[in-house]
Structure 1
Amino acid sequence: MGANNLEASRKFYDSVLGALGIGAGVINRDIRYFYRTPTGIFSFTLPIDNKDATPANGGTIGFAAQSVEQVNAFHAAGVANGGTTCEDPPGYREGPGGKMYLAYLRDPVGNKICALFREPK
């Protein structure tokens, strides 16, 4: 994902991903951060074309949470660290995949992210 200010994005993502139990990002080549977990990798970077990063139109990146409390902590950490809430407030939604608890944020660039806890069936 693109970033325009590495420190602002690091602070934001260290906070929201930390609320989900993911360790702090590791800088690479002074232009990007990586967050590695046993189930995947997330990264943000300064654009290599030296143009401003812009958010995807219609794109959302989701992160799995283990509980409603983690989703709420993710949302609170994001708002406290340069993010803005978007869509509905954190809460339950019903969908084809069952009952889910979701929270949506926009990061410092405006990228849309969410944390989601899927209720056990």
Structure 2
Amino acid sequence: MFSHIMVGANDTATSKAFYDATFAAMGIGPGHADDKGRVFWMTPTGIFAITPPIDGNPACNGNGSTIGFAMAGPEMADAWHAAGVANGGTTCEDPPGVRQGGMGALYLAYLRDPAGNKLCALYRMPA
């Protein structure tokens, strides 16, 4: 359904370091910058990017917005979370762990990136 997701970043160098670290925990290589200061991480299933806002105003996060990343297991989610905290992210929501809900058991880990965007690592637990 999605081709790409792009979020604003006030300090692209700090945000790039954060995403390089969290994506490395998922087996994704470093992002590549273009001549406009945007940084792109390209995978076979989609593209994630950060950008300084085109209108020149500060980047801000969307209240109620969350970007979820699929994980191969709880260990990957934990490594992603730890890499994020170690690289300028802040933990939010409950600590990483299993949550029960209408979609079954999910292993979730939440972070805010350096610009305040809310992110989630998600692994669907086996039934």
TM-score range, shorter chain: over 0.9
Normalising by structure 2, what TM-score?
A: 0.92
What is the aligned counterpart of 1:72 among 63, 69, 78? 78
Q: Is it true that 1:2 corresponds to 2:40 in the alignment?
A: no
**Counterpart for residue 106 of structure 1:** 112
1:1-121 superposed matches below 5 A: 1-121=7-127
Q: How many residues align?
A: 121
Normalising by structure 1, what TM-score?
A: 0.96
Q: Which has the larger displacement, 56-65 or 34-43? A: 34-43
Please report how far the alpha carbon of residue 22 of structure 1 lies from its aligned counterpart in structure 2 after TM superposition: 1.2
C-alpha distance in 2, partners of 1:116/1:23?
20
Please report how far the alpha carbon of residue 119 of structure 1 lies from its aligned counterpart in structure 2 after TM superposition: 1.4
Structure 2 gaps, min length 5? 1-6
C-alpha distance in 2, partners of 1:108/1:115?
16
Please report how far the alpha carbon of residue 39 of structure 1 lies from its aligned counterpart in structure 2 after TM superposition: 1.1
Structure 1 gaps, min length 5? none
C-alpha distance in 2, partners of 1:54/1:33?
17
Please report how far the alpha carbon of residue 29 of structure 1 lies from its aligned counterpart in structure 2 after TM superposition: 1.9
Structure 1 consecutive aligned stretches of length 4 or more whose deviation exceeds 3 Å: none
1:79-114 Cα deviation digits (max 9, x unpaired) = 000000000000001122111101000000111001
Letter in 1 for 2:81: H
C-alpha distance in 2, partners of 1:40/1:13?
15
C-alpha distance in 2, partners of 1:33/1:99?
34
Q: Secondary structure at the match of 1:113?
A: strand
Please report how far the alpha carbon of residue 120 of structure 1 lies from its aligned counterpart in structure 2 after TM superposition: 2.6
Please report how far the alpha carbon of residue 17 of structure 1 lies from its aligned counterpart in structure 2 after TM superposition: 1.1
